[in-house]
Structure 1
Amino acid sequence: MQPIWLLIEKNAPYIMLVLSLLALILGLSQVILFRRFREVSRRYRLLMRGPSGADLEEILQRYAVDVKNLEALGQEIKQQQGILQEKLAQCVHNPGLIRFNAFDNMGSDLSFSVALLDRRGDGVVLTGLYGRDETRIYAKPIRKGTSNYSLTEEEAQAVQKTLEKA
């Protein structure tokens, strides 16, 4: 044990110098780490505070509420869209018009048949027969593209033309 103490006593100034330098390096690293911690802490407080003064937790809670509201609104819009699609299917689409001569002595195709059907093929076919002294209009109901009444060739063409467009 004696030789170690003799070695320490003999080299004490050098050992003190090395230990002093080590303490100085540790002290400087402590100051640098403290400054970096303070900067990170400042940035963390800014992040948590948010731009409008609210902290990050409040901002996230508001966004969560907004997302829930948007999801509810999306569901409501989807329901309304379904209702509108159902109503649209009941509207008249692409009426089919056929013009023809009802009588041999008439010209210019003044008689007509027009089919007014929805997308399901339900509606009415109107036929107007033009004569020199009078014009008559007839209506026949159509269900799923057919009628309980007999259809003329022109009426059937008008119905077919409408169904092809749909």
Structure 2
Amino acid sequence: MEIPFDVLSYVLAITIIVLIVWIIRLEIRIARLLSGKDGKSLESVISSINAGWIESRGFQNEMEKYLTGVEKRLSKSLRTCETVHFNAFRGNGESGNQSFATAYVNEIGDGVIISSLYARERTSIFSKPIKRWVSDTPLSPEEKEVLAKAKLAVQN
């Protein structure tokens, strides 16, 4: 059974027309994609995205430098303040718990302990420097306690 030439040519012509319509539709879709929403080309959109990315990388580098400086300054600034109240003269009960020791330290353990001894007739105030959680001046038990509390607060 032979297919007549006329039928074959009609089928071939219809197939070619369908393919041409399909190619035209694809061309229109590609043109729309490349022209963009606001009439910008896809290339210009990609270029502007790339420029924004480069700008954000520069901003990120600036922020990293800034935060490094902030971290350095923050480690040297006051990190905690702890206070212990105590009765300096336990035997005669004159002062109650009005005496205190307060530690002001940064995160590496540098700072000062300020102590106040209160009595009815006078109040004495002492200041002792702290370097890396150690004092060159002997510390009272209350000052040692407040320094330990400050160290614990910094570590948490």
- TM-score (ref. length: structure 2): 0.90
Of the structure 1 ranges 70-79 and 112-121, higher mean CA displacement relative to structure 2 is found in 70-79
1:69 aligns with 2:87: no
Q: Which residue of 2 aligns with 1:11?
A: none
Q: How many residues were matched structurally?
A: 152
Structure 1 segment 81-120 matched on structure 2, within 5 A = 81-104=67-90, 105=92, 106-120=94-108
How much has 1:35 moved relative to structure 2? Answer: 0.8
Q: 1:139 aligns with which of 127, 145, 150?
A: 127
Q: 2:20 aligns with which of 18, 29, 34?
A: 34
> What SS does the aligned partner of 1:95 have?
strand
Q: Which stretches in structure 1 are left out of the alignment for 5+ residues? A: 1-13
1:122 aligns with 2:106: no
How much has 1:93 moved relative to structure 2? Answer: 2.1
Distance 2:31 2:125 in 1: 82
Identity %: 24
Q: Which residue of 2 aligns with 1:22?
A: 8
- Structure 1 runs (4+) deviating above 4 angstroms are none
1:148 aligns with 2:136: yes
Contact 2:95 2:120 (8 Å CA) reproduced: no
More helix by share: 1
Q: Which residue of 1 aligns with 2:31?
A: 45
Q: Deviations over 1:32-54 (max 9, x none)?
A: 11111111101101100111211
How much has 1:107 moved relative to structure 2? Answer: 4.0
How much has 1:76 moved relative to structure 2? Answer: 1.6
Distance 2:96 2:88 in 1: 10
Q: Which stretches in structure 2 are left out of the alignment for 5+ residues? A: none
Distance 1:93 1:128 in 2: 22
- TM-score (ref. length: structure 1): 0.85
Counterpart AA for 2:143: E
> What SS does the aligned partner of 1:75 have?
helix
> What SS does the aligned partner of 1:140 have?
strand
How much has 1:133 moved relative to structure 2? Answer: 2.0
